[in-house]
Amino acid sequence: MAPLSRPFIPLPVLLLVRLLAGVGVAALLLAGAAAAAPVPATPAPPPGWVWPLEPRPAVVRAFDPPEKPWLSGHRGVDLGAGRGSPVLAPADGTVVFAGWVVDRPVLTIDHGSGLRSSFEPVATALAVGTAVVRGQPVGTLEAPGAGHCSPAECLHWGVRRGDDYVDPLQFVEDRRPSVLLPWDPGPSG
């Protein structure tokens, strides 16, 4: 009876396995380097957003997210403004959508970090892919036929974090308690 022999593995496969093992080691090394980098404990709200209208607009309808995604609600805030008002980018970003949705012109800006602002009804001359900076005029408020705030006029501003709608006002209003706390230098070791 022949002794158990090593299973036959073609040389190219062996080389591939060795190559993959090498990549795995490299990935582990990279992961270790990333883990060593300082990481913020909690994601702070992006600092320095500005209102998309000037002067600071009145909030005529607040954020009112539906309890279930399929229910109706208000997935943004309505800011009082008249037709033709310049709309400003609340933060740096890139235009990712500019066009008509059903019966109204919509402008969407990707701010990075998974955050996207959408404005409507807003007409813009900016093309998709255009980089914008905070405070830059990006379009003008239109007056749709059957207005969102009819008979008044308003700018609807929605912000999504990933797929979830969040309250846009959290980015422009300081909601921390207005109490002066003693400065805590943290553990000194």
Which residues of the shown chain bind Zn ion in the complex (CB under 5 A)? Answer: 78, 156
- Hey, what amino acid is at 113? S
Q: Is the Cβ of residue 118 or residue 124 nearer to Zn ion in the bound state?
A: 118
Q: Which is nearer to Zn ion, 111 or 148 (CB)?
A: 148
Kindly state the smallest distance separating residue 137's Cβ from Zn ion, in Å.
Answer: 21
C-beta of residue 169 within 8 angstroms of C-beta of residue 77: yes
Closest residue to Zn ion, judged by C-beta, is: 156
Residues whose CB is less than 8 angstroms from the CB of residue 153 and which lie 6 or more positions away in sequence, other chains included: 80, 81, 82, 83, 141, 143, 147
Q: Which is nearer to Zn ion, 93 or 168 (CB)?
A: 168
Closer residue to Zn ion (CB): 12 or 151: 151
Query: Please, what is the minimum distance in Å from the beta carbon of residue 61 to Zn ion?
Result: 6
Nearer to Zn ion, 16 or 143 (CB): 143
The distance in angstroms from the start CA to the end CA of the chain is: 70
Cβ 99 to Zn ion, closest distance in Å?
Answer: 19
Query: Least distance from C-beta 75 to Zn ion, angstroms?
Result: 8
- Least separation in angstroms between residue 65's CB and Zn ion is 12
Which residue, 130 or 170, is less far from Zn ion as judged by CB? 170
Q: How far is the CB of 141 from Zn ion (least distance, A)?
A: 13
